[in-house]
Structure 1
Amino acid sequence: MGHRLSDRLLFWLTLVIAPIVLVSIQLFHPANFTRDPGMFAFLCVEQPYKPEHMALAYFGPRWWVTLHVIQLPMIGLVSVGLWRLMAPIEGGVAGGLAWLARIATFAFLIFYTALDSIGGIGLGRSILNVESMRTSGAMTADEAAGAIKLLNADWVDPLTGGIGSVISLGGSWAIFIAAVSAALALVLTRRAPWPAALLLVGFGWEIQVAHASPHGPIGFSLLLAAALWIWASDRATRTRAMDTAAIAT
């Protein structure tokens, strides 16, 4: 971790503030609605808390769009933070692991940008447009039924769908690989204590499972805890080094 003011600010922005924002919004990211009542039927209206859907509440399709608009740059910031954690690590086994973490982090960023753009912002806007056209009479009942059928099919598309697709699973496994590789590289170079590394692995696993509630909030809370532990450990190491230097002089 760099010691310059800009490095410290970037660390706090990417690995502390961004995870806090993600935890906060993903508490309101529902899950388990694809089969019952169905994607469109669930997302097109506000929903109260229901244990089977995990989120504290869901505020309707405008929130679905807003949630993913906020999430996009936050995921970008987290990716920058993970990349920067690997910055000083080069050469040997640790260096190879650091590069694997960098590559997997980049893949995570690409996949999740696509996922949130298609299954988040794009889908949410499509739901709003269908509802608006249906209400205004610009779309007949049959046309609306066809549009809803298409959007439900898009949601489970094997390449670009919101669940179980190439972009969804690709991003999920990429962040798990990135987290495990980064944790190993940090431990091997003694840049992080092993409990913090385990928290980092836990973050990767939770986001691999899902970024909706409860896994998203749990995962990014683990990332936040790991980052703060690494920061505290690095600060303690520098303090000891300065004390040793002062005694030596």
Structure 2
Amino acid sequence: MRLMLFICLVLSPLILLGMELFHPAHFTANPGMTAYLCHPQPHDPHYDALSYFGPNWWFLLHMVQTPLVVLVGIGLLILTDTFHRDPAYKPKGEIFSWIARAAIFVFVVYFTVLDSIGGIALGRQLIVIDQLFAAGEISTYDAHVIQRFLDVMWVDSWIGGIGSFVSLAGSWAVFIAATSLAIYLTINKRMHLLGAALLIGFGWELQVAHASYHGPIAFGLLVIASIIYLYQNRLSKQVA
């Protein structure tokens, strides 16, 4: 179980931390979603990311990111004692564990939906548009109409990439999950206050955004909190 926790809550977030440094933000209004994402972009402090490599990178980023986020969700579920617990262990505040489980479920579902629509599918759509335009199969006008449609869908109130029901549901769910889990672990003396604070910080930063720089900060906080948890519980077992 410790190996699984290491994979889910240390290794996976470390990979996500590195990848999210190349996930741009603040491009929706200026120059527009498709205008920015359709082409590689040099570093610009306004967009936070270290660089953006074009639509193929957008597609690859979310293809890798999606399963890694699911692994993070599994790791958080392990901490709620969902998969294994000593029958003799009677934890305090199980209501917080159940709140965390429900919130993790919502987070994993809606984050996956968001990445599928606004990441994987959008990346492929941008690539195909470029290919069709280069092959002369669609005109400049056709490409403009398609791109306008994608821009509108990006800000759709239900499934858009920012500020939508799907986006906000996943974002607030991870904050609720992290906060509830931190309370549950703290009152059962399985996590120091520092680790709990870092875990809550992870939830808050990821609630704000998973793009740079909030995403890298969030996953960095999760890595540190998880290392603290693993070290503390290793010592606890040795003392026991």
TM-score with structure 2 setting the length: 0.95
Query: Within 5 A, what are the aligned runs for 1:159-174?
Result: 159-174=158-173
What is the root-mean-square deviation of aligned Cα atoms in Å? 1.3
**Shift, 1:91, TM fit:** 6.5
Aligned residue for 2:8?
14
- Output the amino acid matched with 1:176: F
Distance in 1 between residues matched to 2:111 and 2:13, nearest whole Å: 15
Distance in 1 between residues matched to 2:141 and 2:36, nearest whole Å: 20
Aligned residue for 1:3?
none
Pair 1:62 & 2:61 matched:
no
Distance in 2 between residues matched to 1:205 and 1:215, nearest whole Å: 9
Query: Within 5 A, what are the aligned runs for 1:14-163?
Result: 14-87=8-81, 88=85, 94-163=93-162
3-state SS of 1:222 partner = helix
Segment drifting more, 72-81 vs 132-141: 132-141
Distance in 2 between residues matched to 1:38 and 1:18, nearest whole Å: 31
Pair 1:235 & 2:223 matched:
no
3-state SS of 1:226 partner = helix
**Shift, 1:15, TM fit:** 0.6
Distance in 2 between residues matched to 1:8 and 1:93, nearest whole Å: 22
Distance in 2 between residues matched to 1:135 and 1:178, nearest whole Å: 46
Distance in 2 between residues matched to 1:91 and 1:135, nearest whole Å: 64
3-state SS of 2:191 partner = coil
Moved over 2 A (4+): 88-93
3-state SS of 1:137 partner = coil
Residue identity over aligned pairs, in percent, reads 45
3-state SS of 2:205 partner = helix
Aligned residue for 2:222?
223
Q: 1:55 to 1:229 in 2, by over 3 A?
A: same
**Shift, 1:29, TM fit:** 0.2
Q: 1:225 to 1:92 in 2, by over 3 A?
A: closer
Where in structure 2 are there 5+ consecutive unaligned residues?
Answer: none
**Shift, 1:173, TM fit:** 0.1
TM-score with structure 1 setting the length: 0.92
**Shift, 1:180, TM fit:** 0.2
Where in structure 1 are there 5+ consecutive unaligned residues?
Answer: 1-6, 242-249
Work out the number of aligned pairs and report it.
Answer: 235
3-state SS of 1:49 partner = coil
Cα deviations across residues 34-89 of structure 1 (Å, max 9, x unaligned)? Answer: 01110000000001110010000000000000000000110010000000001149
Cα deviations across residues 173-227 of structure 1 (Å, max 9, x unaligned)? Answer: 0000000000000001111111100000000000000000000000000000000
